[in-house]
Amino acid sequence: MKPEKHNLLADIRQAVANYMRSEGCTCCQNIQEHKRHTEVLAKLLRVPMYSDRSGYNFARFRTDARKGDKE
| pLDDT one-digit tens code per residue, 29-62 | 788 888 898 999 999 999 999 999 999 998 888 8
Q: What is the DSSP letter of 56?
A: B
Residue 17, pLDDT score = 84
What is d(CA 26, CA 34) in angstroms, rounded to the nearest whole number? 13
- Higher pLDDT pick, 1 / 22: 22
